[in-house]
């Protein structure tokens, strides 16, 4: 009920970004700069040896044919996993080379940030693999009860959500970069914390 002479309260309050109250902002913990070493991507995307493709039995009965089909399905999954690992190693390495040097200059990545950078690269590689497979297989596949959504769409969505978190953490979008404070560039400064 409105009271004469009073302004009604807005139903929705506006939240402002930045520091409108001009309160002092803590700088945070300063860490020494570090040269991050690219990991061995084969520990994340291991290479495996693909066994020989099963051969179709001649003159087999129904049970032998069912067993053969199961063996072929296992072999196909192993082959796909081997391709995914090779693809993942290449994409993660490419992403590391593209992003980490920039982040070291822009955000001052340190040794404690290495695992975040590695996880980011793994996430990018797996998301690209999912998107690639979706392009090959299609968004709709045949399930036991007919056409259904490809399960890779769910996996890609989960990786995309995780990627957004890494982008925010590492400052890899225009808005996230605006929140970063670049490291001091003057190495000759006598007041440097790391001297």
Q: Higher confidence at residue 144 or residue 156?
A: 156
List phi, psi (to 5°) of 149. Answer: -70, 140
pLDDT in tens, 86-135: 999 999 999 999 999 988 887 778 888 899 999 999 999 999 999 999 99
Residue 151, domain member (yes or no): yes
Average pLDDT in the 39-50 region?
93
- Which pTM was predicted? 0.72
Average pLDDT in the 47-76 region?
88
Is residue 180 within 8 A of residue 106, CB to CB? The reply is yes
* Reported confidence tier of residue 80, pLDDT bands at 50, 70, 90: very high
C-alpha–C-alpha distance, residues 161 and 119, integer Å = 13
* Tokens coding 182: 């670049």
Average pLDDT in the 135-143 region?
90
Give residue 193's pLDDT.
Answer: 47
Residue 125, domain member (yes or no): yes
Longest dimension (CA), the chain: 95
* Tokens coding 138: 């299609």
Give residue 171's pLDDT.
Answer: 85
Number of domains in the chain: 1
pLDDT higher than 90, residue 76? yes
Show the DSSP H helices in 138-173 as ranges: 151-170
Q: Percent of the chain scored above 70 by pLDDT?
A: 75
Residue 115, domain member (yes or no): yes
Residue 25, domain member (yes or no): no
Instruction: Using CB atoms within 10 Å of the CB of residue 189, give its burial: 0 to 12 exposed, 13 to 18 middle, 19+ buried.
Output: exposed
C-alpha–C-alpha distance, residues 87 and 121, integer Å = 12
Long-range contacts: 151-157, Cβ < 8 Å, 24+? Answer: 155/130, 156/127, 156/130, 156/131
Residue 17, domain member (yes or no): no
pLDDT higher than 70, residue 140? yes
C-alpha–C-alpha distance, residues 107 and 94, integer Å = 20
pLDDT higher than 50, residue 186? no
Domain that holds residue 120: 41-170
pLDDT in tens, 4-30: 666 666 555 555 555 666 666 566 656
Give residue 153's pLDDT.
Answer: 95
Give residue 21's pLDDT.
Answer: 66
Q: Higher confidence at residue 31 or residue 185?
A: 31
* Reported confidence tier of residue 71, pLDDT bands at 50, 70, 90: very high
């Amino acid at each position: 009920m409105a009271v004469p002479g009073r302004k009604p309260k807005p139903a929705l309050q506006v939240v402002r970004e930045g520091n409108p109250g001009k309160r002092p902002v803590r700088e945070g913990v300063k860490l020494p700069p570090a040269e991050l070493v690219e990991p061995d991507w084969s520990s994340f995307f291991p290479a495996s040896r693909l066994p020989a493709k099963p051969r179709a039995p001649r003159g087999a009965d129904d049970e032998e044919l069912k067993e053969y089909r199961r063996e072929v399905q296992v072999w196909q999954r192993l082959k796909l996993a081997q391709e995914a690992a090779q693809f993942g190693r290449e994409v993660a390495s490419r992403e590391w080379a593209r992003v980490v040097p920039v982040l070291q200059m822009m955000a001052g990545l340190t040794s404690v940030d290495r695992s975040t950078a590695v996880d980011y690269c793994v996430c990018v590689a797996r998301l690209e693999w999912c998107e690639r497979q979706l392009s090959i297989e299609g968004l709709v596949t045949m399930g036991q009860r007919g056409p259904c959504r490809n399960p890779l769409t769910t996996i890609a969505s989960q990786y995309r959500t995780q990627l957004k978190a890494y982008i925010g953490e590492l400052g890899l979008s225009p808005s996230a970069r605006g929140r970063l404070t670049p490291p001091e560039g003057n190495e000759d400064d006598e007041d440097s914390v790391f001297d």
